[in-house]
Amino acid sequence: MTDTYEAVVFDCDGVLVEPTDREVLVDAVVDAFAAFGVDIVRSVAERTVRKDEVPVEAAREHDVDPEAFWHYRELRASLAQQAHVREGRKSIYDDVVALSRLDAPLGLVSNNQHATIEFLCTYHDLPSFDVAYGRRPTLAGAAQRKPEPDNVERALSDMGVRDALYVGDSEKDVLAAQRAGIDAAFLRRDHVADAALSVTPTFEVQNLEALVERLSPLAERP
C-alpha cells in the first residue's frame, strides 16, 4: 500500500451523503409496477431492494418488458431520492469538507442512478470531482454495477491514472476496487460499524477526516 496515490475515487451513498431510506426505494419499485398496470406484492418489491436485484423475472411474469420497466423504475427511484433530499433528509456528511485538503484528482463512482449522482453533486455542492459516474438506466448499466469493476475502470481510464484508491462503505466497493486492480479503503461509518466483510480492504478508517490524515502526503495541512 502507498499513501501517494495518483487519484482517490469515492463511493457516494454512505460515504459522502447519508444512505437512502430503503422504503423510498421500495415505494419507487411499487410505483413503477403500478405504472405498467401491475399491483406488485410489496414484499416482492422489498426483496428486490434488499438484495439489490433487477426484477427481470417479476416483470416477465406480468408481461412487462424488462428493459422498459427498468428504465422507468430508475426514473422513479431517482425522482423519489431527489424529493427525499429536498425534504431535508439524505444529508451530506460534515467531514466531506476534509476532501478539500487532498492534492490529487478526485473521482466518484456510485451504484446509484447517474441522474441521482448529478443531482446530489449539485444540491449538496459536493467537491469538484474530475469524473462522477452513476449507473446508466438500462439493464446493461445495471449489469455493470459494483462489485463489477467496469465503472471504476472507466473512471481510472478517463482520469488517466492507474495507482488509485477507492473509498467505500460496502463489501461490493472493496471487491470492485480489487477487481480493478487498485487499493480499497473501507469507511466504517456508524451504519456499517458492525458489518462483517468476507474480503479484506487495504485499510479501514472511521471517517473522511481520518482518511485524509492517512493520506497525509496528498493532503494540505489545515
CA atoms 194, 195, 198, 201: torsion sign: negative
pTM of the model: 0.94
The residue ranges of every structural domain in the chain are 7-19+91-218, 22-86
Give the span between the Cα atoms of 17 and 216, in whole angstroms. Answer: 23
At the top level of CATH, the class of 7-19+91-218 is alpha beta
Q: Which residue type, as a one-letter code, is found at position 120?
A: L
Compute how many other C-beta atoms are within 10 angstroms of the C-beta atom of residue 192.
17
Q: Which residues contact 222 (CB under 8 A, 6 or more apart)?
A: 101
Examine residue 217 and say whether the peptide bond preceding it is cis (omega within 30 degrees of 0): no
pLDDT tens for 170-180 read: 999 999 999 99
pLDDT for 1 beyond 50? no
pLDDT tens for 70-104 read: 999 999 999 999 999 999 999 999 999 999 999 99
pLDDT for 219 beyond 90? no
pLDDT-derived band at 2 (thresholds 50, 70, 90) equals very low
- ∠32-90-131 over CA atoms, to 5°? 85
Mean pLDDT of all residues belonging to the chain: 95
Give the pLDDT of residue 3: 60
- ∠56-61-62 over CA atoms, to 5°? 105
